[in-house]
Structure 1
Amino acid sequence: MSGVIDGGVIDVHAHWLPPELFDLPPGAPYGPMRDRDGELYLGEIPLSIETRAMSDVRAIHDDMRAGGVGVRVLSAPPFAFPVAGPATGYVTAYNEALGALVADAGGTLAGLGMVSFDDPAETSAQLESLAAAPGIAGAAIPPLVAGASLDRGALLHVLTEAERLGLAVLVHPMQLPRPEWGDHYLANLIGNPVETATAVAALLLGGVKERLPRLRICFVHGGGCAPGLLGRWEHGWRTRADVRRSSARPPRETFRELYFDTVTHDAGQLRLLAAHAGADAVVCGSDYPFDMAQQDPVGFATGAGLDAEALTGNARTFLHGDGS
C-alpha cells in the first residue's frame, strides 16, 4: 500500500456505508438507517454519531490524521450484513461502491467487501470478484448465519473459498438482541464480545484452522471474551472427548495462528491478548465511526506496550499474506 498519511499505522477495523445503501438489505433486524438533523439512527436507535462520519471521505481522512492512521481498511457496519436471505443486488452495489472509493483514495483506504450467504455458488462468485478488485483485501463476515458459526454451513464455505483465493477475512459481531440484554446497551457491551468468543471457539474446537491452514482471519474487539476463556477451553479440550472430537490440536496452539485487533478499551486486556496470541498476531483497529470506537487507536496500542511498526507489519501480512 502506498500513499499513507504521515506514515501512520494501518487500521484494519473501520466502517463505511454509502447513503444510497442506508435502507440495508432485506430482513435487517433493526430497520433502515436514517439521517435525523445530521445524526445517524438505526431504525429508532440513535447511533451517537454524525451521519457524515459513516460515508464522507473527508471525515474519514480527518479522523485518520488525528489518530495517526496511515491506511484505513473499510468494511460495512455489521447491521448491513445480508443474513436474512437473498441480497445479491445489495452486495454487488456495496462492493462496487467500496471498490470505487478505494480506487480514488490514493492508497490511503483499502477495503473488505461483503458477501451473501443463501447460495454457495453466488458466494463463491462474489469472493472471486473481490479477489480481482484492486485495493480489496478480502471480506468482512458475521460470526453467525442461520444458527451456525464458522465451523459449518455458509460461513465455513466462505472461509474455505477465502483460503483458496488468498483473501483475508474479518469477523465482526452483529449485536444480536436477547431479552436479558435489553437495557444498559448490554447487547453491545456483553453481546458483541460473547458473539466473537463463540466464533473463535467454533473455529478452534471445530478444527477449521487445521483444515484451512493458509486462512488469514481476524477477530475484532480483541477477540471479545476469548482471551479470558482460553484456559477454560484448553482444560475442556484436554479432559473431555466431545470437546476435542473435531480438533487434533489444543486451542492454545491454534489461537496463535489467528489475528486480533486492539479494540479492547483496557490495556491489561490488550496485554493478555498479546501474551496469548503473540505480538505478531495483533493488528491496530479503531471501530470508526461508532461511539464504542477506540478514539486514539495508535496511542492506546503503543501505551499498552505494542510497537506501531510491528502493528503495521502484522496488518500487511493479515491483509496480503506476504506482508506487501
Structure 2
Amino acid sequence: MSLSFPVIDLHAHWFAPSTLDILGRRSEAPRIGRLGDDLTIWRRGAGAGTGAPFPLGPQWTDISARLDHLDGAGIVHQLISWPTTLGVDAALGASDTLDLWTGWNNETSALVRQNPDRFSAVAALSTSDLDWSRSELARAHEKLGLIGGVLPVNGFFSRASAEQFRPIFEVAQAHRSHIYLHTGFANPVITGQPPDILHGDNEALRWVIDNGFHFASAVATLAFTDFLDPFPDVTLQIAMLGGSGLGALAAEQAEVSPRIQAGPLRRHFRQIWLDTGAAGSGSAAVAAAIRVLGSERIVFGSDYAPLPDIRPTLDRVRAATATDPDSRHAVLSSNALSLLSRHDAFPAHLASFRKTAS
C-alpha cells in the first residue's frame, strides 16, 4: 500500500555484540547460548514463560536484515530500546549488569551514528543502581547522542515506587529526555511494585491480564498524580497502549466518574504517548485508545525483534484507522516526527515532512 507520509516505528529492540558476549559467558540464567542451531536466551525472574528458553532470531542482531525488512514494510525510521521484558535487570544486581548496560549503550550509540536517518535510541538504565543511572542518562545525552532512557513499567506501578526514580527524572528534565516505559519488573530493590504471581494455569493468558493491569497502573501513576509536575520537559512513552488499551479506558472512567473527578483527559496526557507494541496492537484496542485520548496521543510501535515481522502490526493499525486518514497520519507518522524533532533527532531525509509534523 502506497503512503504519502513516512511511517515511524517507536518500539523496536536489538542485541548489541557486547550483549551476546556478556550474557553468553554466563552459566546460569539469564544467559544467552545455543539451543541446537538457534541462538536462545534463558530468562530468570518475572515475566511470562521465564522457565522456558526464548529463541532469538536473526532480527535481534543482523542490522542488514533489519534494514531490508524495514524497507519492505515501508518503515523509514526506528527508535531502539533495550528489551526490559527479558527481565535481566530484575534478576541481577548492579555488579552483574552495569557493564552490560554500558556496552549496549556504547554500541547502540555507534549504530545510531552510522545510520542516523534510520535509527534513534534511548539508553538502557539500571534499576539496581539509580545513582549510576543518573550519570548514564546524562552521558547518553552529552556523549552518546541518545535521546533518553528506557525503564521497566512496574517501577511506576504505584506512586511509592515511582518516587524512587525522582533523581533520574531530575536529570531527564535537565536534558529534556524521552523516557520509555516498557514491559517488566524493576530490580527488587525498588519497592512498591506489583506482586510477581506464579500462576498454576494458562500462564500465557494470565500474563496478558497481569500485563494490562501493570501498564494501566503506571498510566494512573503518571497521568493522574502530580509526579510529573516538576518535569514538564520530559516526554513519556508507555508501551502496549498502556496495557492493551486498558490504561486509556481507565482514563475515560476517570474523566466521567463523579467519584474520581479527574477533569479533561488532555491535561493529564499532555506529555504522555502510548504505543501500539505487541500487547497493544489489536485493532479494537487501537481504535478505543484513539477514541478516548485522541489520535495525537498514540504512536506506532511494532515490537520488532521479539516479533520478526512488522507488517501484521502495521496492518492492524491501518485497519483501526481505515475510516480516519487524519488519525492514521498522526499515529503512523506525524506524532513520532514531532517527538523526534523535540529531541533533536529529526531524521534529515524527512525534512520535507517537518511542517506537517509540527
SS state at 2:34 partner = strand
Cα offset for 1:34? 2.7
Instruction: Note the 1:110-189 alignment, pairs <5 A.
Output: 110-133=120-143, 135-145=145-155, 152-174=162-184, 177-180=196-199, 183-186=202-205, 188-189=207-208
Give the structure with the larger helix fraction: 2
The aligned counterpart of 1:45 is: 52
Deviates more, 1:53-62 or 1:255-264: 255-264
The aligned counterpart of 1:16 is: 14
Instruction: Note the 1:30-41 alignment, pairs <5 A.
Output: 31-36=30-35, 37-41=37-41
Aligned mates of 2:66, 2:107 — CA distance in 1: 16
Aligned mates of 2:170, 2:201 — CA distance in 1: 35
SS state at 1:288 partner = coil
Cα offset for 1:81? 5.3
Cα offset for 1:98? 0.7
Conserved? CA contact 1:216–1:321, under 8 Å: no
Stretches of structure 1 that go unaligned for 5 or more consecutive residues are 1-5
Deviates more, 1:141-150 or 1:208-217: 141-150
Q: Which amino acid aligns with 1:321?
A: R
The aligned counterpart of 1:269 is: 285
The aligned counterpart of 1:3 is: none
Query: Is 1:82 matched up with 2:81?
Result: no
SS state at 2:306 partner = coil
Conserved? CA contact 2:154–2:215, under 8 Å: no
Query: Is 1:104 matched up with 2:95?
Result: no
The aligned counterpart of 2:251 is: 230
The equivalent position to 1:212 in structure 2, one of 222, 228, 231, is 231
Deviates more, 1:146-155 or 1:210-219: 146-155
Deviates more, 1:59-68 or 1:313-322: 313-322
Change beyond 3 A, Cα 1:10–1:65: same
Aligned mates of 1:171, 1:163 — CA distance in 2: 16
Conserved? CA contact 1:48–1:291, under 8 Å: no
Give TM-score, length-normalised by structure 1: 0.81
Conserved? CA contact 2:18–2:100, under 8 Å: no
Conserved? CA contact 2:180–2:236, under 8 Å: yes
**Cα distance per residue 1:146-185 (max 9 Å; x no partner):** 9866863333332332122111011001178522376341
Conserved? CA contact 2:224–2:268, under 8 Å: no
Aligned mates of 1:287, 1:45 — CA distance in 2: 20
Change beyond 3 A, Cα 1:81–1:146: farther
The aligned counterpart of 2:299 is: 283
Query: Is 1:69 matched up with 2:75?
Result: yes
Cα offset for 1:291? 4.0
Cα offset for 1:35? 3.1
Change beyond 3 A, Cα 1:253–1:293: farther
Aligned mates of 2:158, 2:29 — CA distance in 1: 21
SS state at 2:303 partner = coil
Deviates more, 1:140-149 or 1:100-109: 140-149
Change beyond 3 A, Cα 1:261–1:30: farther
Q: Which amino acid aligns with 2:32?
A: M
Conserved? CA contact 1:53–1:60, under 8 Å: yes
- Identity rate of aligned residues, in percent? 20
**Cα distance per residue 1:92-141 (max 9 Å; x no partner):** 11110111111122421111111123444322211111112454221111
The aligned counterpart of 1:258 is: 272
**Cα distance per residue 1:238-270 (max 9 Å; x no partner):** 526xxx8xxx86666403541011232321211
Query: Is 1:221 matched up with 2:240?
Result: yes
The aligned counterpart of 2:319 is: 303
Stretches of structure 2 that go unaligned for 5 or more consecutive residues are 44-50, 186-194, 322-326, 347-358
Aligned mates of 1:24, 1:183 — CA distance in 2: 29
Conserved? CA contact 2:14–2:80, under 8 Å: yes
Aligned mates of 2:337, 2:200 — CA distance in 1: 37
Aligned mates of 2:113, 2:151 — CA distance in 1: 22
Instruction: Note the 1:183-198 alignment, pairs <5 A.
Output: 183-186=202-205, 188-198=207-217
Conserved? CA contact 1:168–1:217, under 8 Å: yes
SS state at 2:93 partner = coil
